[in-house]
Amino acid sequence: MKRFLSGDEAFAEGVRLARPQVISAYPITPQTVVVERLSEMVEDGSLDAEYVHVESEHSALSCAIGASATGARTFTATSSQGLLYMAECLTYASGGRFPIVMMNANRATALPWNIYGDQRDSLALLDHGWIQVYAEDNQEALDLALMAYAVAEHPAVATPVMVNLDGFALTHTYETVDVPAPDEADAFLPPYEPTGNRFDFEHPVNIGFSAGPEYNRYFKYWEHRDMLDAPAVVDEVEARFAEVFGRAYPGMIETLNCDDADVILVTLGSAAGLVRGVVEKLRAQGVRAGMLRIRYLRPMPSALIAEALRGASAVGVLEKDVSFGAEGTVFTNVNSALQQAAVGVPTYNFVGGLGGDDISETQVEGMFAMLEQVAKGAEAARDMPRVSFLGIDSPADALGARGAEGGR
């Protein structure tokens, strides 16, 4: 059924179709609409679930962990300071191997106080043991609500999943989405059947235990090993999803015109839609431009990224994040992928969209113009900063404006 929904509403519809048994909720902008819609669904009977309105984000994830430990399919959602507040619980959920699904509405972190969207909240927590996936649009958001459970609950993975939606750019923007019928969703995602990791009086197990130095390393190794098994499960889940619903997704990454590209821009989330349009425009002008969208940032698809970027002459990474005193977190991860594969392409980091700041088409064109200068070995490229902030010190601003005036 076609419906006109915001990203928050689309995700709530996906959660409804996944039939969680326990929802723990604490509202925070711009996530609030998700838990509001789910509360309405529970109230009107269209979703049979226990809805627990807790007193904080820390309690929201604590409640989800407890519910998951009983064998229930669970859901929660948060954003920004709320995600940071529940950070202590993130490692309990991942270390306990509880397949919780959480939606995070990406939003700037304080101070200064800001309710608008960048990705510093989730990217600050990459090392907490959760699978992290980033949606580009509202249809993908709805579909990921279903696929996230299929991945998290797979016995080879047994790891919680954080689905990230750009605040306001997706959460409060309306698009037409295809909402599957409940019987289709049931065919794709059967009821959760925990295997051993739950309270069971007939077959008791130890949950939430301690492990000293002689054993702790094994649990962390297994957690890491099973995270590395997730890409194969993602491919399997997406293949089944395409069979049931007729919509196909590209796996851990998406590439556009990377096979013969001289210059490639890497990004994630909703910014990919803007970059996609610029790539198509530049291709029409004869510029061999490409885009790589990272869908899953954990587990890190290092080999896939390195292979996609191998033939480029210059690569840019556009992200709504900065690790203060260093560089963008996505940039660090991309450079690591290239280093591991011995790919020596020069890379440049464009930090933009902080606090919800707009990233314009002209700026994206400027990023590609800067990468073109590097690819051609232009004299001006020698002074190009490896890390720059759009709207402050990035050459992409001036180069894009020059191109818009016809000086490309």
Q: How many CB atoms lie within 10 A of CB 9?
A: 23
Per residue in 370-404, pLDDT (tens digit) is 999 999 998 878 889 999 999 999 999 999 998 87
Q: Tokens 């349009």 — which residue?
A: 277
Q: What pLDDT sits at residue 406?
A: 65
Q: How many CB atoms lie within 10 A of CB 191?
A: 9
**Total Cβ atoms within 10 A of residue 43:** 10
User: What is the model's pTM?
Assistant: 0.97
Token pair of 388, please? Answer: 């720059």
- So what's the pLDDT on residue 173? 98
Q: Which tokens sit at 357? A: 């700041």
Domains in the chain, CATH or no CATH each: 2-245 (3.40.50.970), 253-406 (3.40.50.920)
The 10s digit of each residue's pLDDT in 338-363 is 999 999 999 999 999 999 999 999 99
Q: Pairing relation of β-strands 101-106 and 161-166?
A: parallel
Q: How far is residue 99 CA from its own chain's centroid?
A: 17
Contact status, residue 177 vs residue 139, Cβ threshold 8 Å: yes
What is the DSSP-derived secondary structure letter of residue 165?
E
Residues with Cβ within 8 Å of residue 194, at least 6 apart in sequence: 71
**pLDDT at 166 exceeding the cut of 90:** yes
- What are the backbone angles phi and psi of residue 367, rounded to the nearest 5°? -60, -45
- Report percent pLDDT > 90 for the chain: 93
Tens-place pLDDT, residues 188-237: 999 999 877 888 888 888 888 899 999 999 999 999 999 999 999 999 99
Average confidence score pLDDT of the chain: 96
- Average pLDDT on 108-119 reads 97
Residue whose token pair is 């939430």: 208
